[in-house]
Every structure is written in structure tokens, then in C-alpha cells.
Amino acid sequence: MDLFKLDAHQITVNLRQITPHIHFQHFEKGATLRASEVKPKLDKFIEKIDAKEKIDAKKYKEWRDKENGSLKYKMSFSPKGRATIEEPVKPRGLYFGNMGVEPGKERMTVFYPQGIEMHLTSQNTDLLEYIKGILPYFFALHAFGTRSSKGFGCYMVERARLDFQKLKSYTPLETFYSIKYPTPINAAVLQDIWVLSNLMKGGINYSFRNPNYYYKGHIFKYFTPKGIGSEKAFIKRKILPGDLDISLDSESKKNYNEYRFVRAMLGLADNYEFRRNRRTRRGGKVKVSHKEIERFESPISFRAYENELLIVPQIIPKKMLNTLFTFENERRTHVETIKTPDSFDIIDFMDSFVDDFNNESIDMFSWDRQTSGSAIYNKDLLITKH
């Protein structure tokens, strides 16, 4: 079955929208995917494929613009039907961009239930033919708009089927992971992504309800056998000092050789907040800064495609390794520095997490199933490595 409509030098592609798209121009009629965002990503995707597979040199040279190096095709999008526009208040914890924003200027999500059309035009018909072959893989590995790494703004070529072996060759580290659902994925998968992200990084803490309702982030557990303590205990000792409390006392009994800013390996936040409770009197916000690094998006990307949630590890920039960050409390009375780990094997980390997720019981999270609405608590859903 042909997935594309070809008319002379134009291709029309039907795209299905899978998850809401946080759009900065949601107020404009027909706001959807923008060529200014999609085309540079598609050009770069083709460039990376060429570096691996070596597209015919003469042909590839003909495809590129001599002046700016971009590929010689044009792109546009037209929505089908009306959009559903909502504030991204769910899932919890995945988007805080509207906090403190004056009414009327918030970013909203845009979703087209009937999908959108993508139009590609070029005088190079062989370039259009090539794009036809890779487009399903491009959309499987890319999402768009704000918070795209957490699964917002996912689209797929309608009726396309993926060869996972081929998809694997297109990923940055030639490795990805997936969770197969019994039915096609929709926006509800964003709640599952929230849970998975927290299981990997910050942990899930509802100890204010019950002391047993706590799952430590896997990034912390991953570094413990290596003799490396996390920045969490470091912060409580150096930045939010006070009498030893229950939660910190448990950390002090571990035999750490050193403390490192391990959480930064999964994305950089500009501050962390610690809440006071019956287990600890320490609390407050801690600011994180670096002379040159202001932002580092999570190197673990979530992509929704048909009935598969894809988890795609990205390459960790060298600048994030063994680099010094400054931590300070709100009053700036305590300022300390701490380094990130010397190295971080993201595939080894993911393998460790998958083993823990698939084999360890997380029935302790059944208390949260109704409030989160996450299917991840269903142990029939397992993570597969590709």
C-alpha cells in the first residue's frame, strides 16, 4: 500500500499525531509542525545517514545547496480538521513552563485528531524518492516542540511499518529500547514517561503518605556499587547543613569514596528543592550553576510510535564529564563545588535499569496507580533492548 501521494515534483505525506505538541504559536490558526524546525532536523538526519552508509557522492552533491549546504527541497504542513488546544497540566511533573507566566501568555498543547499533511517539493525527484524511504524512521526518532525529549510532539507516517533492525542503525548509539502496548499509544503514554523518567533519575517519593512509599532513583543506585555517592547527600552535608536526620544518617553509613553530581548525567536542572518532613528538618532550594553550561537536555529520549514506546539513548557530550558545578543555598551562605562523574556509559546504565525494571517487583507502586493513571505499573509491560 502506497503511503505517499506523488504528483510530478511533490510528495504529500499523511501524518498521524500521537501526542500533544506544546506549541509557542498555539494561538495562530493552523498552528502545527513548522518547516523551520522539521527541515533542519531532517537534513541533519540524512547527513548522519550519509556519514554511515555513504550515499552516492555525485547524487548527494546535487542534492545540496552550494551556498548554505541545506538539501534542495521545500516543506510545508497543513492540518486536517480542527485542533484540540489545552494547557499541558498533565502529566504531572513533565512541564512547568507556565508557572509564573501571566495569563494569556502560557504555552498550550495543540493536537489534531484527524492528523496533518506534509508537503515536500523538489526538482530532484530522486531526492524525494530517497526521503520517502527514510521518513517513517525520521519521525520515529524525532519529536517536536517544547519537552520533545519527554514524548510531547510525536508524529508518525500513517500506516507505516518499521524494520527495527534498520531503525536501530539510525539511532545515535545503534541501540534503543522499547515497550510494546496491546493497543495503539495515545496521550496517556506521557504519564508512563513521567513514571519511567522518575524511576531512572530523581526517584518517586510519597513517604509523606507512608514511609514505605519511596523508590530511589536508579541513577543513585547505579553509582553506589562504584563507591560514588550522589550530590543529594553532598547537598545535605554542605549546602543545607544541620543536625543529622534519619534520611541523611542512612547515607552516612554507606562506604563512599567520593561524591559526584551524578543526576546531571540524565539532564541538568538549574535548581533542586528539598522538602522538610518528619524524617528530615533540612529543606530549601539549591541553585546549580556552571561557567559555560546552562542547559543539558536528558540524553534519554522517549518517542511514541504506533503501539510502541521507544526509549533512545543519546551521546553524552564530553563537556558534561568530570566538570565542576557550583551549588549554593538561597541565602548564599553555603556555596560549594562538586564534579560530575569522570565517565558514564549510558548503555550500561540503561541495561542495569531494564534488568531492575523487568525483574524486580515494583508492586509497592500499586498505591499510586489510580492517582497517576500509569500503565507502567502493569508488570506485563516489559522493556526490550534492540
Given a cut of 60, whether residue 239 has pLDDT beyond it is yes
pLDDT band at 383 (very low <50, low <70, confident <90, very high): very high
What CATH number belongs to 4-163? 3.30.70
pLDDT for the residue numbered 349: 98
Would the pLDDT of 33 be above 70? yes
pLDDT value at 203 more than 80 = yes
Q: For 176-189, what is the mean pLDDT?
A: 93
Q: What is the pLDDT of residues 331-379, one digit of tens each?
A: 878 888 999 999 999 999 999 999 988 886 455 454 454 445 566 656 6
Is 24 or 343 the better-scoring residue by pLDDT?
343
Residue 43 has pLDDT above 80, yes or no: yes
Report the pLDDT averaged over residues 66-79. Answer: 93
The pLDDT mean for the chain works out to 83
pTM listed for this prediction: 0.88
Tell me the mean pLDDT in the region 292-311: 94
Alpha-carbon distance of 322 to 220, in angstroms, equals: 17
The confidence band for 280, taking pLDDT boundaries of 50, 70 and 90, is: low
Report the pLDDT value the prediction gives residue 21, as an integer from 0 to 100: 92
Mean pLDDT for the stretch of residues 17-40? 85
> 151 with 18: CB under 8 angstroms?
no
Question: Quick one: which of 141, 134, 138 has its CA closest to 312?
Answer: 141
Tens-place pLDDT, residues 55-69: 888 888 899 998 888
Output DSSP code: residue 280: B
**Does the pLDDT of residue 6 top 70, yes or no?**
no
Higher-confidence residue of 99 and 108: namely 108
Domain ranges of the chain: 4-163, 192-385
SS (H, E, C) 157-204: ECCCCCCHHHHHHHCCCCCCEEEECCCCCCCCHHHHHHHHHHHHCCCE
